[in-house]
């Protein structure tokens, strides 16, 4: 199974959890070390869960409007640990919209880590490190962006 199959697959049992701030508990996004997800109360985060291809997936949406940083992280529950497949990001400190993605078979991703550097690639490739995208993301549209990227719907439509 690869990321394109996951995105295109029909989703079911989609559940939107409420917005929270600060630390992301390991129970919400189970990584071996969640230290990179631990941030102050200026960070808002929301979890979306769904089932597809007989597997359970989680999308962790993180937003810091003051730092102009948006991130949607797609992970898949696995008996070996969470497999993080893709980070869809916009942070105006550098680059425009981009993904850190594991284009390989998901079973080859090292489990339990936020970013498997052996398998992750940045897409699109770019020599330009400047960001030309105006940051206008708010909580009201953060889930819609993740839904469009990862192909899930909730409550009868994109949220």
Q: What is the pLDDT of residues 85-105, one digit of tens each?
A: 999 888 877 777 777 888 889
pLDDT value of residue 51 = 97
pLDDT value of residue 104 = 83
Query: Is the pLDDT confidence value at 158 over 70?
Result: no
Query: Is the pLDDT confidence value at 77 over 60?
Result: yes
The DSSP secondary-structure symbol of 66 reads: T
pLDDT value of residue 69 = 87
Residue 150: partners with Cβ closer than 8 Å, 6 or more residues away: 6, 7, 59, 72, 74, 86, 88
Among 6-20, 36-50, 128-142, the least confident range: 128-142
**Residue of higher predicted confidence among 124 and 65:** 65
pLDDT value of residue 91 = 81
Residue 63: partners with Cβ closer than 8 Å, 6 or more residues away: 43, 44, 45, 69, 70, 71, 137, 138, 139, 142
The DSSP secondary-structure symbol of 97 reads: E
Candidates 131, 112, 121, 9; CA nearest to 70 is: 131
Residue with tokens 């992301």: 24
């Amino acid at each position: 199974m690869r990321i394109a199959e996951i995105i295109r697959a029909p989703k079911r049992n989609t559940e939107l959890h409420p917005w929270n701030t600060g630390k992301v508990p390991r129970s919400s996004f189970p990584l071996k070390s969640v230290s990179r997800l631990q941030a102050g109360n200026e960070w808002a985060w929301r979890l979306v869960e769904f089932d597809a291809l007989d597997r359970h997936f989680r999308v962790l949406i993180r937003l810091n409007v003051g730092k102009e940083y948006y991130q949607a992280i797609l992970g898949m529950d696995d008996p070996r640990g969470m497999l993080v497949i893709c980070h869809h990001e916009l942070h105006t400190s550098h680059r425009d919209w981009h993904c850190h993605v594991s284009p390989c078979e998901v079973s080859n991703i090292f489990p339990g880590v936020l970013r498997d550097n052996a398998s992750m690639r940045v897409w699109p490739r770019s020599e330009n490190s400047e960001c030309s995208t105006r940051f206008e993301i708010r909580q009201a549209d953060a889930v819609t962006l993740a839904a469009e990227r990862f192909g899930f719907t909730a409550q009868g439509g994109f949220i």
